[in-house]
Amino acid sequence: MYDKNWAKVDVASVPRVKTELPGPKSREMHARASKYMKGYSSQVRLFPVVFDSGKGCTLTDVDGNVYLDFSSGIYVTGLGHCHPKISEAVATYAHKLMNCHDFTTEIKMKLLEKLASITMGDLNGFQLYDSGTTAVEAGLRCARAATNRFEFISFWRDFHGKTMGAVSCAIVDHTQGMRAPGFFLAPRPYCYRCPFGKTHPECNCYCVDFVEMIIKNETTGRVAAIVLEPIQGWAGTIVPPDDFMPKLRALCDKYGALLFADEVLTCMGRTGKMFCMEHWNVVPDIMTLGKGFGNGFPVTAMCVSDKYKDTVEKISASSSYGGNPMACAAALASLEVIEEENLCERSAHLGEIMLKRMEQMKENHKIIGDVRGKGCLLGIELVKDKTSKEPFDEAGRLVYQKAFQKGLAWVPAGHILRLSPPLIMDDDLALKGLDIIEEAVAEVEKHFGYQ
C-alpha cells in the first residue's frame, strides 16, 4: 500500500522560481527541439518551458523551477503526476508483458469487469484504444453500423480529435479544411453568449429546437447519432443548462438517433462525477473515455450500450496498441485510486470553493466577464467590457503568460482561461493558484489602462 501522503507539499514552498521563466536551459533545449518538432500547442508557443519531472500537484523544469500545476497535463493527470500506485502498475507490466495485440490478458479482464461495474446504465460493451480520436472514430463507425444510417449532428466549438471523422464533428478553425459528407454542425447552449440572443430559462433551451430543425431541413433524415462533449473543453469550459441534456436525449429517441457522449475530457472525476453525464442522469448509447482514464498513460475506451455492443464486431474495432497490458494496468489502477481516495467527492468540493473564489474575482475585476465550471473543470472568460462582452484575446494571452512566469502551469484558450487542477489538490494550494491568477489579471488590467 502506498503512502497516502505521497503528494503532500508545503503550500509556502510552491511555486518556487529560481530563474527567469522560461529559464536558460528551457530556452536552449526548446530551441534545439523546435528545429525538428513542428505543430506545438498554443500552451507551448506562448510559454516554451521544458519540464523535467512531476510529483503530485507540482512540475519541475530543467532549470529547477517548481510550478503549481493547474493543467494536469491538459486534463490528463487528474490523480497527480506519477501516482505511486499507477506508476507501479505500469512498471509491473513493462517488465512482464508490454503487448500481445488484442488477446485477453488477466489485467484486461479485470479492467473490463471493473469498467462494467461503474459505467452508467447498460454501457457494457467496450473496446480499448490509445488515443481519444481513435475511440471517437470507432464510436462513429459503430453508430453507423448500429443504425444503418450515415449522418451525424455535432456542435459548434466542440472538440473530438484530429482525424477525419473527429474533425468533421468539430471544425474549430479554418485550417482544418472541409468536413466529410454527412456531418452537420449546430449551435449549443452558451448562456453567457447565447447564439440566439435569448436568456435562460425563458429560451426553453431553444438550441434543442434548432437541432430538430436541422434534422428536418438539412439532413436526409438518416441521422445515426448526435455527438457532443457534455461540457466543452477546448471552447472554454462551457457548461450547458440542466435541461439541455434530457431534452437532447428525448430528441434522439424521437428520431431514432443514438446519443454519443464524448467524455474523453470530462470522465474520471474531472467534473465531480465519475462520468459527466451523471450530472443530468442521462445515459448515452455510446460514450468515449480518455485523458484521466490512465492518468497520463495513453489508454482510451469506447463504451456501447448492451443493445448495440454486438455491432462492434462489425467494424474491425481492434487496434495495435489498444488494451495492451501496461495500458490496462494504468486504467485499472486509476479507477481504484479514484474510489479509494474518494476523488469524485474531492473534485466536487474543489469546484465549489474555487468557483466561490472566482465569483469574487469577477466582482473585483473589470475584464472578468464570466466564471464557470463543475468540479476541477473550470474557466475564466476575459472581456474588454462587461456590457458589450467583446472577447479580450490579448488579455487572455498576457494573463496566461504572466501567471506562468509566477509559477502556475495552466491552459490558455484565447480570451478564456482554462483551469484543470489535479483532483488530489489541497484547498490551500487551489486557492493559492487562484491568487496567482488574480495577481496576473490585475497586472494586465493595469497594462491596458483599466483603473
CA distance 401 to 409: 9
Q: Report pLDDT for 173.
A: 62
Q: Does the pLDDT value for residue 177 go beyond 70?
A: no
**Lowest-confidence segment of 162-171, 276-285, 438-447 by average pLDDT:** 162-171
% of the chain beyond a pLDDT of 90: 86
pLDDT band at 201 (very low <50, low <70, confident <90, very high): confident
- pLDDT for 216-238, tens place per residue? 999 999 999 999 999 999 999 99
Please count the CA atoms within 13 angstroms of the CA of 213 that sit on its side-chain side. Answer: 7
CA distance 156 to 158: 6
Q: Report pLDDT for 359.
A: 98
Per-residue pLDDT averaged across 134-160, rounded?
96
- The CA–CA distances, whole Å, from 19 to 51, 66, 406 equal 14, 11, 11
List of domains in the chain: 1-69 (no CATH), 84-340 (3.40.640.10), 346-399+430-451 (3.90.1150.10)
pLDDT band at 314 (very low <50, low <70, confident <90, very high): confident
How high is the mean pLDDT of the chain?
95
- pLDDT for 398-430, tens place per residue? 999 999 999 999 998 799 999 999 999 999 999
Query: Considering the entire predicted model, what is its pTM?
Result: 0.96
CA distance 214 to 210: 6
- The CA–CA distances, whole Å, from 35 to 21, 32, 39, 291, 374 equal 21, 6, 11, 28, 39
**Residue whose grid cell is 473564489:** 357
% of the chain beyond a pLDDT of 70: 98
pLDDT band at 91 (very low <50, low <70, confident <90, very high): very high
pLDDT band at 205 (very low <50, low <70, confident <90, very high): confident
> Is the distance from CB of 78 to CB of 54 less than 8 angstroms?
no
> Is the distance from CB of 244 to CB of 276 less than 8 angstroms?
no
3-state secondary structure of 421: coil
Residues 6+ away with beta carbon under 8 Å from 202? none
Helix (H) or strand (E) holding 96: helix 84-96
3-state secondary structure of 415: coil
Per-residue pLDDT averaged across 40-44, rounded?
91
**Lowest-confidence segment of 155-169, 291-305, 417-431 by average pLDDT:** 155-169
3-state secondary structure of 174: helix
- pLDDT for 63-76, tens place per residue? 999 999 999 999 99
**Is it true that the peptide bond before 22 is cis, omega within 30 degrees of 0?**
yes
pLDDT band at 172 (very low <50, low <70, confident <90, very high): low
Helix (H) or strand (E) holding 140: helix 132-147
Q: Of the candidates 293, 192, 236, 264, which has an alpha carbon nearest to the alpha carbon of residue 411? A: 236
382, β-bridge pairs: 368
CA distance 123 to 106: 21
Q: Report pLDDT for 108.
A: 97
Q: Cα 320 to chain center, whole Å?
A: 25
Residue with the larger pLDDT of the pair 42 and 178: 42
Q: Report pLDDT for 98.
A: 96
pLDDT band at 34 (very low <50, low <70, confident <90, very high): very high
pLDDT band at 196 (very low <50, low <70, confident <90, very high): confident
Per-residue pLDDT averaged across 237-247, rounded?
95
